[in-house]
A = this chain, B = another copy of it.
Amino acid sequence: MENIKVGIIGGAGYTAGELIRLLINHPETEIDFVFSTSNAGNKISKVHQDLVGSLDLKFTDTVNPDVDVLFLCLGHGNSVKFLSNNAFSKNTKIIDLGNDFRLEAGKVFDNKTFVYGLPELQKNDIENADYIANPGCFATAIQLALLPLADKDLLNDDVHINAVTGATGAGTSLSATTHYTWRDNNFSYYKPFTHQHLGEINQSVKQLQNNFSSEILFMPNRGNFSRGIFATVYTDFEGTVEEAKTLYKEYYKDAAFTFVSDDNLHLKQVVNTNKCLIHLHKHNNKLLITSIIDNLLKGASGQAIQNMNLMFGLEETTGLGLKGTYF
């Protein structure tokens, strides 16, 4: 089989950088072009500087409309704009890492139907899709904590979520809260109870449990680390912790990257991997579910490659056997 030809749009950001890092080691792909108007003509390794010695390619401001797959790594809201102004072959599959097409209301654009790309929710739909809306990072971690319960209609009370994300979650832009002297040894929250990923989360939960009517109370925090999401979720659950484990292990038995751990979790168990690890704990009537991912991999670029693999009929884990950075 010929290599899959890949185009990347928005090539200077974090998620594009991660895609490039993954694709240069992926055995079935070749990077055709990396589009970045602000960096056109510069070597990619001038921006993603760890790629010195790995890649000679330059950024371009011209697209090849015949690539096999296109990854959109644009600021939220910009994918619609880009696709309106740039035509691609009807054979070009598209994976959007932004949030333009994630919700039911916006999933059809220009006769293209974007499938929500969470393999643990709907692997078959992804395998048959040409257009994918790749989930948000918090949304991924939190859904993977909730889906096995929703799948059994067991989410019947308020869901309390506290999650912490690293500084890469804020993107490459410079701001007061990404300045080293501010963030070093600091902690804060933002958008309490109103984070934009709540839409995706509610949508997927209701897809599995259509009578879900409780509230999801989500506190997102900024941690003083670079990568990763650590989410704790609790809600009422009548069964024992063993029953919960059985239920989760059954739900994830075919998952390529999501595993239930019998031991307490800490964030670095998943950093620089495409894994999600889940741990379950029971206290009185509350089930405490911990879910950890790397926000740039399972929460963005790694999941995008996983979706690509599924769409092209490859082994789901191809190119994703990553060495973690446990320390």
- A40: Cβ under 8 A from any B Cβ: no
* Residue contact B188 to A179, C-beta cutoff 8 Å: no
* Residue contact A224 to B225, C-beta cutoff 8 Å: yes
* Residue contact B193 to A181, C-beta cutoff 8 Å: no
A264 to B322, CA, bound (A): 28
* Residue contact A323 to B22, C-beta cutoff 8 Å: yes
- Mark contacts of A142-175 with chain B using CB atoms, 8 A cut-off: 1 yes-contact digit, 0 otherwise: 0000000000000000001010101110001011
- Residues of B within 8 Å of A232, CB to CB, are 162, 189, 192, 219
- A199: Cβ under 8 A from any B Cβ: no
A103 to B327, CA, bound (A): 30
Residue of B whose beta carbon sits closest to that of A223: B187
- A46: Cβ under 8 A from any B Cβ: yes
- A64: Cβ under 8 A from any B Cβ: no
Q: Contacts A49-B269, A277-B52, A288-B192 given: A180-B226 contact, CB under 8 Å?
A: yes
- Mark contacts of A287-314 with chain B using CB atoms, 8 A cut-off: 1 yes-contact digit, 0 otherwise: 0101000000000000000000000000
- A50: Cβ under 8 A from any B Cβ: yes
- Residues of B within 8 Å of A174, CB to CB, are 174-176, 178-179
- Which residues in window 267-291 of A have CB below 8 A to B? 267-273, 275, 277, 281, 283-284, 286, 288, 290
- A234: Cβ under 8 A from any B Cβ: yes
- Residues of B within 8 Å of A272, CB to CB, are 272, 323, 325
A248 to B178, CA, bound (A): 31
14 contacts between A and B (CB under 8 A): A14-B181, A21-B323, A25-B322, A25-B323, A46-B263, A53-B259, A167-B181, A182-B268, A184-B327, A185-B267, A187-B266, A189-B232, A224-B225, A271-B325
Q: A160-B160, A181-B226 are in contact. List 11 more A-B contacts (CB 8 A).
A: A174-B174, A177-B266, A179-B179, A185-B225, A185-B271, A193-B288, A194-B283, A223-B223, A224-B225, A226-B327, A227-B325
